[in-house]
Structure 1
Amino acid sequence: MLLPALDEHLTAIPEAQGLRGIRRFAVEFLYFGIKEARASLFAGLFFLAVFAVPRAGLFGLARYDLLLVIALAIQAAMVLTKLETLDELKAITLFHLIGFALEVFKTSSSIQSWSYPDFGYTKLFGVPLFSGFMYAAIGSYVIQAWRVLDLRVRHHPPYWMATLAATAIYANFYTHHYIGDYRWYIAACTLGLYARTTVIFRPYDRDRRMPLLIAFVLIGFFIWLAENVHSFLGLWQYPNQIGGWSVVHIGIWSSWSLVVVMTFTIVANLKHFKERIHVPE
């Protein structure tokens, strides 16, 4: 199995004493890219499937139905090849359910934040079942990156505060339609909560670190880019895209960054990393 062998290699990299300067930067950057690609395996394969499957579908299956089959096949293959554990699969299933519930609410007739215009047998409440895998892909990335990059978090806020912030983030996606959008207040609280937090990771043979808030923003940006591609391909539509495609509003970037915060909090809890969170000085 090629990918499991790659995992073994990535976790057993010998220390390279002779690497310095630009050579060290190049090697570390290369390995960082490889590890990021490995962590993004589910998301990357699903992204390719969106490109490959025509809007009219294939083999008598509608596009939405075929994308569900592909997502299930990718997920099953990752478990069977031990790229994901059963415990991680349970966590990813949770992300799928959380995301699908949000999709049902956002596409309901009373809200209509966006819509899925095409036909599909596997649509429930007007939402194709594959849509939950888009949220599961974010969870899969965080889970895989935590392992492959040997992530550790320094100065993590108290867990009850982080959990409260994540709950407020998710709740605001629903309540802002009725009592006002408090996203920026929640974001400000999250900024304060994680202001001192840094993530420690190992691209090659040495630990590197960056502010965790920057990671949240960067991941959110790449998800926003992917959403632009998906909406351009007609996978779903915002109201302002019905007459013709336009760039997804830049404000959605902040929403995705907050989703990443929520995802990170859930992963940290479900994978029982609490005892590893605080790294000694």
Structure 2
Amino acid sequence: MRARLPHGIAEFIMFGLKQGWACLFGGLMLLLLIGTSLIWEDSWWLARYDFLVLAAVGIQILFLATGLESRREAWVILLFHVSGTAMEIFKLHMGSWDYPEPGLLKVGGVPLFSGFMYAAVGSYMARVIRLFDMRFVPYPTEWMTWALGAAIYLNFFWHHFGPDLRYVLMTLTVVIYGRTMVRFTVTRRFAMPLILAAGLSTIFLWIAESVGTSTGTWVYAGHEGFRLAPLAKAGSWYLLLYVSFVQVALIYRDRLSETKEEAHGHRISARDGARP
């Protein structure tokens, strides 16, 4: 593509291909949701939810066996699975949404494949950081990022009993991460505000959420039939991305700053008028 296409178009296509490769786990899970919703019969001996659990485990094993994910990344993805499933159990019992189909592989009424949907976000974040050789500069004070992540996670429970602090927390994401730039490589080096990257990711997560609702895999309170996910869920996913980011930062601490050589290269690029 670089040889045959104008440079800008080639960069854009390569960016899309790398992004698609980074979200391979999530993409496969969405294909499974759509495919099984079209063909699955209630009379089959294996419940659709249980098949989705087994398929997700199989994909994870395949990723580890082929080196698409490292063991270090798998531990963080397991953390996503546990924290996501805990929230799912709570939300289910609070009536926020429901899983209408039968299945044996459930915990607290929540099918275990739901945790893999959260894990897919972790898989994407870990892979996209590695594939694009990302650096996050300047990175905020770490205790502030962890405090914000904990507050966001706890608010998903707290707002059922007290005031919803999501807009306060959204404001804090701008205050804390407002200066942070994501530096990444397609075939050359680019930069994007981290808040913008989170906003763009939120759009695609809302689309993925809508795949789940439109296939009837999960149903929100008051929704019936084909429905897109409520727009309010986009705000929830925007906040959850920051919870995800601080978890992934556990294994990519070296990406939270630049080397002297990288910083020197960016200064030269800026001085020469090129985009860093």
Which TM-score applies when normalising by structure 2? 0.89
Name the aligned partner's letter for residue 217 of structure 1.
G
- Cα-Cα RMSD: 1.7
Residues 113-152 of structure 1: pairs in structure 2 closer than 5 A: 113-152=96-135
Runs of 4+ in 1 over 4 A off after TM superposition: none
Letter of the aligned partner of 1:135 in structure 2? Y
Distance in 1 of aligned mates of 2:43 and 2:22: 29
Query: Is the Cα contact below 8 Å between 1:39 and 1:148 reproduced in 2?
Result: yes
Asked if 1:253 is matched to 2:234, the reply is: yes
In 2: Cα distance, 1:68 partner to 1:151 partner: 31
1:88 to 45, 58, 73: 73
Would you say 1:155 and 2:134 are equivalent positions? no
- Give the alignment's TM-score, normalised by structure 1: 0.87
**Equivalent position SS for 1:199:** strand
Instruction: Select which of 254, 263, 271 maps to 2:251.
Output: 271
User: Secondary structure at the residue paired with 1:178?
Assistant: coil
Give the superposition deviation at 1:251: 1.4
Give how far 1:154 is off.
1.0
Q: 1:44-77 deviations in whole A, cap 9, x for unaligned?
A: 1111111111343696211100000110010000
Distance 2:255 2:132 in 1: 14
Aligned-residue sequence identity (percent) comes to: 38
Q: Which residue does 1:176 correspond to in 2?
A: 159
Contact kept in structure 1, 2:206 and 2:233, CA below 8 Å: yes
Separation in structure 1 between the aligned mates of residue 43 and residue 171 of structure 2, nearest angstrom: 46
SS of the residue aligned with 1:192? helix
- May I ask how many residue pairs the two structures share in their alignment? 257
Note if contact 1:240-1:246 (Cα within 8 Å) is conserved in structure 2.
no
Per-residue Cα deviation, 1:138-194 (whole angstroms, up to 9, x for no partner): 000000000001111111111110111000000000001011100000110111111
Supply the AA of the counterpart residue of 1:126: G
2:221 is aligned with 1:221: no
Give 1:55-134 correspondences, 5 Å limit: 55-56=40-41, 60-108=45-93, 111-134=94-117
The aligned amino acid for 1:213 is: I
1:254 shift after superposition: 0.8
Farther-moved stretch of structure 1 (50-59 vs 147-156) = 50-59
Contact 2:155–2:166 (Cα < 8 Å) also in 1? yes
Other structure's SS at 2:18 match: helix
Q: Is the 8 A contact 1:115 1:237 kept in 2?
A: yes
The answer for unaligned runs of 5 or more in structure 2 is: 268-276
Q: Is the 8 A contact 2:215 2:226 kept in 1?
A: no
User: Which amino acid in structure 2 is aligned with residue 226 of structure 1?
Assistant: A
User: Which residue in the other structure is 2:270 paired with?
Assistant: none
| Mapped contact 1:42–1:137 kept (Cα < 8 A) | yes
Question: 8 Å contact 1:123–1:129 — kept in the other structure?
Answer: yes
Question: 1:209 aligns to what?
Answer: 191
Q: Is contact 1:88–1:143 with CA below 8 Å preserved after alignment?
A: yes
CA distance in 2, matches of 1:95, 1:253: 19
Give the match's secondary structure for 2:236: helix
